Structure 1
Amino acid sequence: MVIVADRDRTRAGYIAGLRLLADLLEDQPDIPYYEFGRMSFALGGTEAEAAETIEQAVAALTAAGIEFDRGETDHAQSVEFVVAGVEYGFSRVRDAAWAAHQARQSYQENVQVAVAC
């Protein structure tokens, strides 16, 4: 078995980690797995960069013949697809929606709720 001491945050490292995880789960049936098999994450970068990443991903999924769901709302944009037993998705909250959320939360540190005894 290969033990990775340092986390490789490159794309190649992520793919290698997924392969190692799949092998580990297959070889060690006593290790539990998540039966709903979902991996989801938020895209970083600017809203424009995320939109470009989503467009490129949509083109790649289309070229690969993979069915996917694309979400476009005033709040966020997202892509989700399923490969065998695993759902994979990524999204980006729009800047205006995030700013509105932060504005709604701006009072949070000033409000204190008394707990009844």
Structure 2
Amino acid sequence: MTITSSGKTRATPETDQRTALIASLRTLANLFEDVPELPLIQGMEISWSILGSDEEGRRIVEHASRALSEEAVNHRVTDDPNHAIAINIPLVGDYVARAVHVYDRSMAEYRARTSYGPVIQVDEQVAS
């Protein structure tokens, strides 16, 4: 969202995307309610990435944690310096919502371990 010089807010692609995502999540909730045959996985996690540098990721997590605290939302911040920082919001039972920033070093190590993937081809087994 952008605030103009007149003090009015103006939609940006980010707010349009946020609005669309919120509507999609409401649609999903309605589907679970309206179609009980739609199975739920026990211990389901709704997870999304926090992109940007490590500094930006940490700042976003800290800012969001303060905002959640102000709204009295039960949450926990976890920080594994060797992997990621995350905001964890328990929902019900084993269900959790989680926003995660994976640290740059951890992502670089992951990419190094999996960089060969696109060039490996497994020969099809020939029936004898």
Which residue, out of 44, 47, 50, partners 1:43?
A: 50
Secondary structure at 2:64's aligned position in 1?
helix
Give the Cα separation in 1 of the matches to 2:18 and 2:73: 20
Q: What's the CA shift for 1:43?
A: 1.5
Query: Does 1:13 pair with 2:11?
Result: no
- Aligned alpha-carbon RMSD (Å): 2.9
Q: 1:57-83 deviations in whole A, cap 9, x for unaligned?
A: 101111111221211122211110113
What residue identity is the alignment partner of 1:83?
A: L
Query: Does 1:78 pair with 2:78?
Result: no
Matches of residues 99-110 of structure 1 in structure 2 within 5 Å? 99-105=108-114
Give the Cα separation in 2 of the matches to 1:105 and 1:16: 35
Secondary structure at 2:37's aligned position in 1?
coil
State the TM-score, normalizing by the size of structure 2.
0.66
Of all paired residues, the percent bearing the same amino acid is 30
State the TM-score, normalizing by the size of structure 1.
0.71
> Tell me, which stretches of 5 or more residues in structure 2 are unaligned?
1-15, 123-128
Give the Cα separation in 1 of the matches to 2:76 and 2:120: 40
Give the Cα separation in 1 of the matches to 2:50 and 2:85: 10
Q: Which residue of 2 aligns with 1:4?
A: none
Q: Which runs of 4+ in 1 moved over 4 A?
A: 104-113
Query: Does 1:94 pair with 2:106?
Result: no
Give the Cα separation in 2 of the matches to 1:24 and 1:103: 40
